[in-house]
Structure 1
């Protein structure tokens, strides 16, 4: 029987209430994780997500299996856990590695503590030194266990809380042997799921997580070539049409994303200043469009914003982008005295036709303000738009719908 995430969470919590392994059943509520490989792994059991009428569900038999596997484990002898050395290099997190994850948590907590106590102003690397308790940066075990990021669910592995079982012998880190074996199996299960999710559902090409695209029953994997044959390319047929009208009469997910042109579209992107449609975009590109100046730096982004016919006619962009353009201009032109450092520019305050930006020199900490008139801000935006339009191919962005 298919059950809701809330009921699955309650069922898992109830069935594992006597388990000695600390569990965080709220991981079953993180349905956004289904985009990765369609499953959430509890212990070494993969719970598949089923989508029906735009809502996610679990199979109650999978929940019961995961609970039974956890409760059947018995506390046993402790085993030495060989943790890898910490590295500043970001590397790749595509392959699950619970040992590396534990190390990352330790040093993240140590760095946070060092910054909070002001030790970063002295010897920068002091927070990396390992103490007698095996932890870096003068952390106590209590501080490490209690350290939480903005989302506590980030510090779970296989739905469990390994920090609460970790102990220090004086020379080595220790965990119950069966729990270590469980986490090793979790790694393999998750790695296999991730690999299968890379395979195009149609041509079976091996690709990337970027090929995942939403479907009525969940997520599927389609390479750009197969996406192009499955979904229509958008040719501008809804240009100039109010968003409220389009969302009632046309489905965005019939099209390829207008921006990345490789994933199925998810929603109609539209200009919030004028209420006009720009085009169909996938969930990833829709999120990226909210990144302001970072979005403006992407190829084709400005021309996409100008799919709003009112913005194109006025040769301008929505206000939030005009502010981003002005802030970028100030970062390039404003300096604190003879200092060569580019200032940080913060959100402006608009009052009586003028924009006041707060600037801060990163080298000296000096702060000052810069006032720009509305006309100056609009002129900067028009110059920016004009430069984008000169790069537009003849008739580009003005195709007719096939």
Structure 2
């Protein structure tokens, strides 16, 4: 049934057209529906040396005559992995649109874990016509919709309509995690390929955004004259509720008068606030406002990626000071629940994370993920579970289960060592006027009632 390439030239390879048919045939009975053209239709990248099949990267090779081939055994392995996926079609995650926002685009200095041509959220948003999206730009030239890593995601899409006008789109949680795993696998493959080509490891991004100005620290001037310099933020909004302040006339224009309170290098664009307690933190730039949000947040878990190196290591003092501008977080000497969960996985459980041999020594196993049961409103019953995803050896290990109160105590001790000035300004003697109970964690992290950051 398969058209094979020239025997002896590339033993074990089949053409990409044959691989398309094999992929559909092997996965016909699986829980996740697959699409034809997994090797030959966009966003497949067979001519660049690889394709994504589910969460697996399958290498391709040129076999002469302008044809490309792929190992049949690798297609079968990817199909077997996909067929083993268990999916509950009722357990849904919202994938757009989010508060009328435009299609997400990469930041000027994207995190390494987000360097991937797949960008499945961007592609889904564009094809479904999200405002500002490329629309039909993500469709195949013959008008058929694109697949994603060989998955026919449109057969799984659920559309909800509120008030007969507003539409939201949802995918099963199992598929969302599968596509996240595909992006992660593609990122690792591309990084390894660049390392093989250059002979050097991919450099980490700088520890903080580049500051605008000359060598003397003075802001550059234009030919027409000196540019207006935003002033540093003090404590002008300390203790104020965002729900009240955001309704004042001219507040957006006033925010632009400050420089970002975190990086200090860009003009502020938004007024960041703690959604858990409701207090204003400070004006920040768009880049810092995005970086502060937990990576790949689901209903009750987060993936702990490279961005936390800045938040909890290289720029920890700046971020801890920023988070504790919230009166509630400062008084309780804690962080919002998703941030505390990420800190527990990234810092408190670091010694427990296994490592694997790599070309340049050993590297941490897979990617950390931390989930929780309960909420901060019932700390006795709230429990963090730290696990490892994307393990190179195929393992999925539970590293630790940490009660919320224990995690909070560990954080207080670490805060005193890492940022003594921030710790000294915190404490339980400043609880007057705070809400008796913080806002609960919302199920839909992308909805209008965003209550997690």
TM-score normalized with structure 2 length: 0.40
Q: Tell me the TM-score normalized by structure 1.
A: 0.45
Decide which structure has greater helix share. Answer: 1
Larger Rg: 1
